[in-house]
Each structure stands twice: as C-alpha cells, then as structure tokens.
C-alpha cells in the first residue's frame, strides 16, 4: 500500500524537499513554509487572511497558525480593514528585510532541486502538479 498510495508518496517527497529548503534557510530563522507566507503577503501592501489563504491554497486555520510566529517576531502585522470586519496582514520592514535575506538561499535550494531532478523533468512535474491542483 505505501508504495502505491499517492498521498503517502506525495507527502514523502514534500517532506524531503521541504527539509532541504529548510536546511538552506536555517540562518534566516525562517522555514520554507514561512518564506511562502511572507512572499504571499509581500505581493500587496496588505491582504485579508481570506485572500491570502486562497492565494496560498491553505485553509484559514493553518494559515493563522503559520502567521503566529511571524507576528511574534514582528515580520508581519495583523490589522482590521476599516470598511469591513475582516483581518488583514501586512509585511513589516523587518519582514521585508528577512525575506530579502531568504530569497538568495531559496534560489539556492531551488537550484539544488533542479540539479537533482533536471530542469526539463521539473518543468514536466510542475506542469503535472499544476494540472492536479486545478482539479481540486
């Protein structure tokens, strides 16, 4: 079952890839998942938690749990939209600086993955993942 289970195989690959990104990012104090959240927030001046969870394809409770350490470190701020009752997230200057420090290390992790897998093979895998994601 374990060799045939799509969920197990995808999660195993995800853990291994995440581990290699986390290792390279360790000096920034960020994990790969936190870099993704910071990058998702950095795209706009502020974003609602609902919009960010959709952008990252992450459920709101998981996103809220992932935001807590970023808020505690002062990398993002939570606030209220003045015209609605929804919470918004803003990246702080400290968060933008930390993201800037993380990006070259993320690029190294990305490059390492492409070397292991091969650029053309990764493009095919990425396209297949995008197609799979679109079906959900």
Task: Identify whether 43 is part of a domain.
Answer: yes
Q: What mean pLDDT comes out for the span 28-36?
A: 97
**Both tokens assigned to 9:** 């195989």
**Residue 85 domain flag:** yes
Domain count for the chain: 1
| pLDDT above 80 (res 85) | no
The CATH number of the domain holding residue 82 is: 1.10.10.10
Q: What is the span of the domain harbouring residue 108?
A: 6-134
Would you say residue 80 lies in a domain?
A: yes
125 lies in some domain: yes
**Average pLDDT in the 86-109 region?**
96
pLDDT tens for 45-74 read 889 999 999 999 999 999 999 999 999 999
CA distance 71 to 132: 33
33 is a domain residue: yes
Q: Is residue 1 part of a domain?
A: no
């Amino acid at each position: 079952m374990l060799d045939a289970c799509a969920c197990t195989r995808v999660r195993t690959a995800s853990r291994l890839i995440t581990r290699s990104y986390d290792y390279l990012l360790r000096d920034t104090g960020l994990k790969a998942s936190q870099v993704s959240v910071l990058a998702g927030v950095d795209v706009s001046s502020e974003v609602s938690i609902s919009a960010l969870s959709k952008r990252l394809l992450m459920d709101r409770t998981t996103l809220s749990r992932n935001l807590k350490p970023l808020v505690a470190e002062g990398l993002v701020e939570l606030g209220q939209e003045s015209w609605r009752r929804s919470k918004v997230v803003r990246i702080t200057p400290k968060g933008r600086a930390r993201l800037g420090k993380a990006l070259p290390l993320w690029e190294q992790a990305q490059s390492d993955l492409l070397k292991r897998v091969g650029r053309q093979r990764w493009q095919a895998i990425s396209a297949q993942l995008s197609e799979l994601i679109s079906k959900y």
